[in-house]
Amino acid sequence: MAQAAGVSASTVGRVWRRHGLKPHRVATFKVSHDPQFTEKLEAIVGLYLAPPDRALVLCVDEKSQIQALDRTQLWLPLRQGRHRTQTHDYKRHGTTTLFAALSTLDGKVFGTCLPRHRHQEFLRFLRQIDAETPAELDLHLIVDNYATHQHPKAKAWLKLRPRFHLHFTQPAPPG
């Protein structure tokens, strides 16, 4: 670029820094091919911005394969002239799956860690949400299209509980 502009490389660097330009950094994105993407996006954003009366909107997600780690020795406490220290190594305790739901109304988080990521654990998490939210409120859950959300047993459980409404962020599940 410096050669093409007829200036030195350091001049190009100064201009880039002054204007916050970082051409070596690239952000990626992917446009959805779902023909109903716009309608779904508007419906979900609408739930967030103007939730139905007597309803709670929850953004639900799971993070699987989280490593449960522990340091091999206790930390040494702070003392005058010395910062807290810890060992460099750790002990593995397997993995866990975090299930979490964020209330868009007040920022409250419902969450639990379970050993696996199957429909049984998803149902257990839904039961927790059911127990921890006021029974008179409808629950609108924004979920992705993960298989556990569409399992026949999850669908059957949800069918018996009309206060639960699932809204999928990706293409609608078949059936």
- Provide the pLDDT for residue 174: 53
Residues 96 and 16 in one domain: no
87 and 153 in one domain? yes
Contact 84, 76 (CB under 8 A): yes
pLDDT for 55: 95
| Same domain (yes/no): 59, 145 | yes
Alpha-carbon distance of 59 to 110, in angstroms, equals 10
What's the confidence (pLDDT) of residue 160?
A: 96
Rounded distance, CA 159 to CA 117, Å?
Answer: 21
Instruction: Specify the pTM.
Output: 0.72
In sequence order, the 6+-apart residues with CB closer than 8 A to the CB of 34 are: 40, 170, 171
In-domain check, residue 50: yes
Mean pLDDT by 10 residues, the chain (175 residues): 91 92 86 83 90 94 86 76 76 88 92 92 96 96 88 95 90 52
Provide the pLDDT for residue 71.
Answer: 78
| pLDDT computed for residue 77 by the predictor | 75
Q: What is the bridge-based pairing of β-strands 138-143 and 109-114? A: unpaired
Q: Which CATH number belongs to the domain containing residue 76 in this structure?
A: 3.30.420
Give the pLDDT score at 171: 56
Q: How many helices (H) and strands (E) does the chain have?
A: 6, 5
Residue 152 Cα distances to 71, 129, 167, angstroms: 41, 20, 17
Same domain, 13 and 61: no
106 shares a domain with 82: yes
Instruction: Say if residue 15 is in the same domain as residue 96.
Output: no
**pLDDT value at residue 58:** 96
